[in-house]
Structure 1
């Protein structure tokens, strides 16, 4: 019995130990550099993580699924632009997120924009939006079909 328990524990640990979590960036400059380097568009997730019911639902039904994880690793660089009400947030991140919200004219949450960063000759970073979406009912397959069509326009 002890051997069986040990065997199950080892298998469970090895499966969870090798699983890689998705990296959600919060620094636009770093994410943009990575996007250019890897030749993948940015997925900009505008969310109210601690108060927005639809944001939480999108996370649960799509963004935290194995299907999304596989798709995201192959297709995009993830950026979370959070607008929490109760969770403390660094002032620099808060300012950056409001700047991005204004740039993309986000009026509600969740909103997801796909964008390609471009470096100018002066060394500044510009973002070219290629499409947006939000919560889409139907689970990860339906959401990913729509996102894949947007990313194909890059």
Structure 2
């Protein structure tokens, strides 16, 4: 019985789906009337980035909210060769940084509308709990529907 319960629980956990193409992210956000959460990270060297992803973005409360309200884009700037994306992905991330993160802040998270207009930004790891941060984002999403 425990195995069945665990299987059912794991089956219904939303997964984080990251869009890799910002143009597609904007198109999807328009079609679904959702906002875009753009996160700049250094996944293999930036301690606060790792904490943000582990404790906030991978939290169940965030995943459930994001699944219904957000198109997620991660502009990752890893340093280890094995973690660096395709040349196309690197170029796109650099273009996003030129547009939204000229100062090179990590982590740096932006909430954008479907046209790419900035609604709110977070420098570094949020100061509030994952639940409070998620509720803040959800309230903004709800106010724009």
TM-score interval for Structure 1 and Structure 2 normalised by the shorter chain: 0.7 to 0.9
Task: Identify which of 132, 142, 145 aligns with 1:142.
Answer: 132
Aligned residue for 1:117, secondary structure, equals coil
Q: Tell me which residue corresponds to 2:107.
A: 110
Q: RMSD between aligned alpha carbons?
A: 1.9
Contact kept? 2:45, 2:78, Cα under 8 Å = yes
Contact kept? 1:42, 1:114, Cα under 8 Å = yes
Aligned residues: 140
Runs of 4+ in 1 over 2 A off after TM superposition: 17-20, 144-154
TM-score, length of structure 2 as denominator length: 0.85
Q: What stretches of structure 1 of length at least 5 have no aligned partner?
A: 1-6, 119-126
Q: Tell me which residue corresponds to 1:97.
A: 93
Measure how far apart 1:145 and its partner are. Answer: 4.0
Larger Rg: 1
Q: Tell me which residue corresponds to 1:73.
A: 67
Contact kept? 1:114, 1:150, Cα under 8 Å = no
TM-score, length of structure 1 as denominator length: 0.80
Aligned residue for 2:114, secondary structure, equals strand
Matching of residues 5-154 of structure 1 within 5 Å = 7-86=1-80, 87-106=83-102, 107-118=104-115, 127-134=116-123, 135-148=125-138, 150-151=140-141, 154=144
Higher relative contact order, chain-length normalized (CA < 8 Å, sep 6+)? 2
Contact kept? 1:34, 1:77, Cα under 8 Å = yes
